[in-house]
Chain A
Amino acid sequence: MDDSLRELYQEVILDHSRHPRHFGPLASATHEGEGHNPLCGDRVKIYLSVDDAGRIADIKFEGKGCAISQASASLMTDMIAGRSVAEAEKLMDGFLHLVKGEDATDLVGDDRERLDIMAGVSAFPMRVKCATLAWHTMKSALEHGMAAKSE
């Protein structure tokens, strides 16, 4: 098989997309956002519960989409929970660099290792939007509170 395909659809990604973590609504949400990829019609909803100290106490997602967008959302929610808003945004910047094939040296250690499974997306420019949808939606949810939409 084509190596880039093997990397794109590696087992960890397929596992995340088949068994997404943190899937479902979040009753305690303080922020929520809805993202839409007009190219394929995929939608994702992100719910966040941010405490007074600016820490993301909990995060969940709902939606339907391709393996890449589902895995990315699942992995994101797994990694974001417990971080501060500033840390979450920094992680997002690193992630965006990674999937766009840009310099991602700001992404280090454990974060780098875990997100590395998404690095294969950079070989598929038409699919970068699938990978970034959940992240952009999270960011606009953090910026707009309870009524954010992201295209």
Chain B
Amino acid sequence: MMAHAKLRTVGAFVPPRADFEILSREVYGKPLVYLDSAASAQKPRQMLQAMTAFAESEYANVHRGVHFLSAAATERYEGARETVRHFLNAAQADEIVFTKGGTEAINLVAASFLAPRIQPGDEIVLTVVEHHSNIVPWHFLRERHGAVLKWVDVRDDGSFDIDAFDAAIGPKTKLVAVAHMSNVLGTVAPLKEIVARAHAKGVPVLADGCQGAVHEIVDVQDLDIDFYAITGHKLYGPTGIGALYGKRAHLKTMRPFNGGGEMIREVTRDIVTYADPPARFEAGTPPIIESIGLAAAIDYMTAFDRAAVKAHEASLLSAAREAVSEFNWLRVVGDAPGKGSILSFETEGMHAHDVATILDREGVAVRAGHHCAQPLMERFGVASTTRASFALYNTRADVDALVDGLRKARKILG
């Protein structure tokens, strides 16, 4: 497509569109403009080929057989763990637990770390921006163990006031749970400061990095964070896999999550003893092929200059932000300084679903709704928003298509 070819260079970074076969398809006879990567990112050929090659020539179950392939597959699986370790800069690979996604990683912390430590009246601090997957597991502890949820608010522009964390963390706080990057507002939480304030009071911190790890460079040691959850499919990797980073000192003390094969040391009729982490938390056959895909996706995205990718995404966000500021019928929700490349907005007299339907027929894929963040919607007094999110393969032409589509929606509905 000429338009894309001409606009490929924004700053120093050239969006690698050719790696993503799907970006050359059409929908309703229009070129696909994919602006829903915050829901799930598209898949580069390199990642898909890595999974296929592994499945075709090296596949077997892991940690089970003595045969050649099982040993080879185990080595690859553990190699993928090492790739994730390096990606998050964890000190040791056994601090990385593979899960089936970000949601499961957070549920693991709730069930295996926090549940046994909660007495009725103990508090969990979370923020109003959280995705339901970083809310509902804590509600479980409220319902089942009498935990009390304390909510940290954001300012009207979506930014955090670090002092609000200080105010919320008290003697009964057992955990702070916060999204590294909001999937609706794009707000990036000041993780390092939050951890410092929480640790000063002896409270561990979990970051939901499902969005953050895609766009920010994460160093769990520098952050000194206790837990960090990621999900593969937003990182240009496959569905069905995610990972939890947990400090070794925590993982060692945690009880198992699911029970089954691989997570035991010994099982008799009378007793069971458990494997060391991370195996203790990986019951059953893990997502083996997906682990190879996740590692390949991480290799793929980290081969780019990540600062340049970030600058590219930020330039798309600011171009879109500037263009929509001319629409007096549109209100952007979330304008925090340094926010990630997510643009959520409300449109006067036009419901997000209607806007998204019209954009869709223009080939522009956006998300409309509450984005699994209902407390946040309530905070901003909206039932739903339309959300465009920008990834490394998006271009200025994509921004233009979004803006043109919005004009059209206004014409039809306004």
Enumerate the 7 nearest inter-chain pairs by beta-carbon distance, A residue then B residue, closest first.
A66-B351, A66-B353, A41-B370, A40-B369, A2-B361, A67-B354, A41-B383
Does the CB pair B370–A40 fall under 8 Å? Answer: yes
With A40-B369, A41-B383 given, is the CB distance from A130 to B353 under 8 Å?
yes
Q: Which residues of B contact A42 (CB under 8 A)?
A: 383-384
Give the docked Cα–Cα distance between A65 and B384 (Å): 9
Q: Which residues of B contact A9 (CB under 8 A)?
A: 354, 358, 412-413
Measured CB to CB, the closest approach of chain A to B333, in angstroms, equals: 14
Give the docked Cα–Cα distance between A73 and B350 (Å): 17
With A8-B357, A124-B357, A127-B357 given, is the CB distance from A40 to B352 under 8 Å?
yes
Q: List 29 A-B contacts (CB under 8 A).
A: A2-B361, A5-B357, A5-B358, A8-B357, A9-B354, A9-B358, A9-B412, A14-B413, A18-B349, A40-B353, A40-B369, A40-B370, A40-B383, A40-B384, A41-B369, A41-B383, A41-B384, A42-B383, A65-B383, A66-B352, A66-B353, A67-B351, A67-B354, A67-B413, A68-B353, A124-B357, A126-B357, A127-B357, A130-B353
Measured CB to CB, the closest approach of chain A to B272, in angstroms, equals: 39
Q: Which residues of A contact B353 (CB under 8 A)?
A: 40, 66, 68, 127, 130
Residues of A that sit less than 8 Å from B by CB: 1-2, 4-5, 8-9, 14, 18, 39-43, 64-68, 124, 126-127, 130
Q: Which residues of B contact A130 (CB under 8 A)?
A: 353
Q: Which of B319-377 contact A (CB under 8 A)?
A: 349-354, 357-358, 361, 368-370, 374, 377
Give the docked Cα–Cα distance between A68 and B357 (Å): 11
Give the docked Cα–Cα distance between A14 and B351 (Å): 12
Residue of A at shortest CB range from B412? A9
Q: Which residues of A contact B412 (CB under 8 A)?
A: 1, 5, 9
Does the CB pair B351–A41 fall under 8 Å? Answer: no
Q: Which residues of B contact A65 (CB under 8 A)?
A: 351, 383
Q: Give the interface size class of chain B.
A: 20 to 34
Q: Which residues of B contact A14 (CB under 8 A)?
A: 413
With A5-B361, A41-B374 given, is the CB distance from A68 to B384 under 8 Å?
no
Measured CB to CB, the closest approach of chain B to A60, in angstroms, equals: 20
Give the docked Cα–Cα distance between A65 and B352 (Å): 9
Measured CB to CB, the closest approach of chain A to B368, in angstroms, equals: 7
B68 at the interface (CB under 8 A from A): no
Measured CB to CB, the closest approach of chain A to B355, in angstroms, equals: 9
Give the docked Cα–Cα distance between A54 and B233 (Å): 54
Give the docked Cα–Cα distance between A143 and B413 (Å): 35
Measured CB to CB, the closest approach of chain A to B378, in angstroms, equals: 10
Give the docked Cα–Cα distance between A5 and B350 (Å): 15
Residue of B at shortest CB range from A70? B351
Measured CB to CB, the closest approach of chain A to B31, in angstroms, equals: 15
Q: Which residues of B contact A40 (CB under 8 A)?
A: 352-353, 368-370, 383-384
Q: Which residues of B contact A43 (CB under 8 A)?
A: 383
Q: Which residues of B contact A67 (CB under 8 A)?
A: 350-351, 354, 413
Measured CB to CB, the closest approach of chain A to B133, in angstroms, equals: 15
Q: Which residues of A contact B383 (CB under 8 A)?
A: 40-43, 64-65
Residue of B at shortest CB range from A64? B383
Q: Which residues of A contact B349 (CB under 8 A)?
A: 18
Measured CB to CB, the closest approach of chain B to A57, in angstroms, equals: 31
Q: A39-B369, A66-B351 are in contact. List 7 more A-B contacts (CB 8 A).
A: A1-B408, A9-B412, A40-B352, A41-B383, A64-B383, A67-B413, A68-B353
Q: Which residues of A contact B358 (CB under 8 A)?
A: 5, 9
Q: Which residues of A contact B374 (CB under 8 A)?
A: 41
Q: Which residues of A contact B350 (CB under 8 A)?
A: 67
Q: Which residues of B contact A2 (CB under 8 A)?
A: 28, 361
Q: Which residues of A contact B354 (CB under 8 A)?
A: 9, 66-68
Residue of A at shortest CB range from B368? A40
Measured CB to CB, the closest approach of chain B to A141, in angstroms, equals: 21
Measured CB to CB, the closest approach of chain A to B116, in angstroms, equals: 32
Q: Which residues of A contact B384 (CB under 8 A)?
A: 40-42
Residue of A at shortest CB range from B355? A66
Give the docked Cα–Cα distance between A5 and B352 (Å): 15
Q: Which of B16-50 contact A (CB under 8 A)?
A: 28
Give the docked Cα–Cα distance between A68 and B412 (Å): 13
Measured CB to CB, the closest approach of chain A to B223, in angstroms, equals: 33
Give the docked Cα–Cα distance between A124 and B408 (Å): 18
Give the docked Cα–Cα distance between A68 and B349 (Å): 13
Measured CB to CB, the closest approach of chain A to B407, in angstroms, equals: 13
Give the docked Cα–Cα distance between A127 and B352 (Å): 12
Residue of B at shortest CB range from A65? B351
Chain B 393-414 per-residue mask, 1 if CB under 8 angstroms from chain A, else 0: 0000000000000001000110
Most buried by A among B352, B408, B412: B412
Q: Which residues of B contact A39 (CB under 8 A)?
A: 369
